[in-house]
């Protein structure tokens, strides 16, 4: 009998209930990338008390986030080929939520992780941005390849599936930018925005791998196997 942890934590080889097709993959890509761009846009407010808001700050933020997305996409692609599964996708969302919530911890203790004043100004900004925002960017960037993997039913539709999901992801990023810049920052504080981003990622983790659905599928498989043996 399988351990209950197998329905949540990716242990061993994937089973059919773990690699079942993901419903509404575009929505997951849309919301995940939207959350990432919300974090990117509030980064200037988080870093401002320590390094100020300047061209250097925004250059560091954009560069670090893009680097995180790039590395996350590469790692996520390798992971999707080696160990695809809804449990893996859910774990990526949970880790993304946790590292996003860490922004709140860093926000209250930026001076303790800031680079020495003897460093060049540009390195100070890049260092602090990397410490606070690189890991969430990597983890959220790793989500999209797994979403694509769980959405492919055949190689013949690879182009359409990848194009559709990437389009939804970029649209989510655009909405995240405009929503944050025009509405969220002026209406809510930075800490409230980061908390909402983290909670949203937790919700995506639950929805991407609903345990009740996996258990139901496993029971149906057991019933079919029992009838065949009888």
Q: How far apart are CA 121 and CA 92, in angstroms?
A: 34
Q: What is the pLDDT of residue 6?
A: 57
Q: What is the pLDDT of residue 158?
A: 82
Burial of 171 (0-12, 13-18, 19+ CB in 10 A): middle
HSE-up (13 A, CA, CB side) for residue 150: 32
Q: Per-residue confidence at 29, pLDDT binned at 50, 70, 90?
A: very high
pLDDT tens string 48-106: 888 888 899 999 999 999 999 999 999 999 999 999 889 899 999 999 999 999 999 99
pLDDT tens string 100-141: 999 999 988 888 888 888 889 899 999 999 999 999 999 999
Q: What is the pLDDT of residue 64?
A: 97
Which single residue is written with the structure tokens 């009998």?
1
Q: How much is the pTM?
A: 0.86
Q: How far apart are CA 196 and CA 12, in angstroms?
A: 33
Whether the pLDDT of residue 185 is over 80: the answer is: yes
pLDDT tens string 148-176: 999 987 667 788 889 999 999 999 999 99
CB 141 within 8 A of CB 69: yes
The pair of three-digit structure tokens given for residue 67, joined into one six-digit string: 């680097």
Whether the pLDDT of residue 1 is over 90: the answer is: no
Domain 23-229: top CATH class:
mainly alpha
**pLDDT mean across residues, the chain:** 87
pLDDT above 70 as % of the chain: 85
Domain boundaries, the chain: 23-229
């Amino acid at each position: 009998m399988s351990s209950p942890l197998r329905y949540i934590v990716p242990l061993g080889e994937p089973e059919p209930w773990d690699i079942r097709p993901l419903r509404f993959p575009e929505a997951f890509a849309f919301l995940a990338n939207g959350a990432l761009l919300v974090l990117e846009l509030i980064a200037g407010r988080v870093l401002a008390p320590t390094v100020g808001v300047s061209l250097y700050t925004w250059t560091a933020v954009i560069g670090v986030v893009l680097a995180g997305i790039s590395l996350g996409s590469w790692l996520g692609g390798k992971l999707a080929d080696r160990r695809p599964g809804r449990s893996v996708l859910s774990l990526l969302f949970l880790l993304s939520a946790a590292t996003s919530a860490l922004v709140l911890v860093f926000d209250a203790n930026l001076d303790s992780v800031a680079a020495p004043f003897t460093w060049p100004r540009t390195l100070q900004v890049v260092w602090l941005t990397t410490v606070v925002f690189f890991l969430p960017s990597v983890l959220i960037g790793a989500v999209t390849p797994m979403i694509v993997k769980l959405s492919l039913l055949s190689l013949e539709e690879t182009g359409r599936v990848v194009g559709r999901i990437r389009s939804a992801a970029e649209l989510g990023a655009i909405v995240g930018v405009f929503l944050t810049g025009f509405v969220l920052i002026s209406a809510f504080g930075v800490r409230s925005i980061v908390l909402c981003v983290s909670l949203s990622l937790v919700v995506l983790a639950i929805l991407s791998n609903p345990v009740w659905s996996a258990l139901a599928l496993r029971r149906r498989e057991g019933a079919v196997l029992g009838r065949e043996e009888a």
